[in-house]
Amino acid sequence: MGVMATGAGAGLGATIRAWRERLPPSAVGLPSSRTRRAAGLRREELAERAGVSVDYVVRLEQGRSTAPSAQVVASLARALRLSVPERDHLYRMAGLVSPRDEPIPDGIPPGVRRVLNRLGDVAVAVFAADWRMIWWNPGWAALLGDPAATPPERRNFARERFPVGPDAVRIAAWPVVVRDSADSDLAIVSDLRRATGRFPDDARLAELVRVLTVGNPTFARLWAGGAVGAHREDRKTVEHPEAGPVEVDCDVLTDGESDLKIVILSAAPGSADAAGLRRAMAADATDSSPARAL
């Protein structure tokens, strides 16, 4: 069954009610009766199957409650026997990001890759939803050092930021100082929690969270706080061995469908840091290829 059309009567409450009324009792193991007035499920039957109160279902359908949690949306989707497109539509109407049934993607769409290859005067890298690095351009390698020597499965920014044990992961070759590091740490943890909602069945992500929770006290404390969000921007100072300290803006763009994170490091045109960024790129003559990837 397809997603309902938008328009009058297609709000969150009206849609839930329409889906409830179309679902025959026999579809959920309830007996049908000639004396039954409701063709579909009754509100109390939906409430019981979704694990919520009847009053809450009434408030949802009447538009008095418009922001159900992800857990409630997931329960309603199961109780209403929604198709995947319908489930995703329900999440969107609730202002939530729908979960993905497939693993975290490591591929970059061709159009995005073409745009990335045009950003030759800045440092750019692409990370998967779990912060595994999957692509970087020569500018990134010049400014931060080429990550190619690090095995692909260990090129993970969260693992670098929250080291576990003595064998720390390094995807930057020299020191990087982050302003407001506590806020940046929280942003990364919040973004990972957001990814667990987007990719609830991804084994790689689950293992990453497990390792960091057990092995890094800072990560464990922030994870226990339950914050959810996306990493957007901060400022970094790179201690480059040839160009000296270079301060750059770090902006994070997210591809909504795959949750890829495009990290761009740049400096204001005409500034001393822009000149330092150019010196770092000029000093790097180790690789003439357009980009590196997994």
pLDDT digits (tens, 9 = 90+) for 148-159: 988 998 999 999
Q: Domain check: are 86 and 114 in the same one? A: no
Residue 4 lies in a domain: no
Out of 61, 93, 125, a domain closes at: 93
Is 213 found in the same domain as 186? yes
Where residue 62 sits, what CATH number does that domain have?
Answer: 1.10.260.40
**Confidence at 140, pLDDT banded by 50, 70, 90:** very high
Are 121 and 257 in the same domain? Answer: yes
Number of domains, the chain: 2
Q: What is the CATH number of the domain that holds 211?
A: 3.30.450.180
Question: Which amino acid, one-letter code, is at 124?
Answer: V
Dump pLDDT digits (tens) for 234-253.
889 999 999 999 999 999 99
| Same-domain check for residues 129 and 269 | yes
Binned at pLDDT 50, 70 and 90, residue 1 comes out as very low
Which residue range(s) make up the domain with 164? 110-293
Q: What is the pTM of this model?
A: 0.74
Query: Is the pLDDT assigned to residue 160 strictly greater than 50?
Result: yes
pLDDT at 98 over 70: yes
Say yes or no: 88 and 135 in one domain.
no
Kindly indicate the confidence band of residue 220, based on its pLDDT and cuts at 50, 70 and 90.
very high
Longest dimension (CA), the chain: 84
Q: Is residue 59 part of a domain?
A: yes
Res 227 pLDDT > 90: no
Kindly state whether residues 152 and 71 are assigned to the same domain.
no
Mean pLDDT for all residues in the chain: 86
Query: Do residue 261 and residue 212 come from a single domain?
Result: yes
Task: Please check the confidence at residue 286 and state whether its pLDDT lies above 60.
Answer: no
Mean pLDDT within 99-114: 89
161 occurs within a structural domain: yes
Residue 284 lies in a domain: yes
Per-residue pLDDT tens digits for 193-217: 888 888 888 999 999 999 999 999 9
**27 vs 77: which has the higher pLDDT:** 77
Percent of residues, the chain, with pLDDT higher than 90: 49
Centre a 10 Å sphere on the Cβ of residue 290 and count the other Cβ atoms it contains. 10
pLDDT at 38 over 80: no
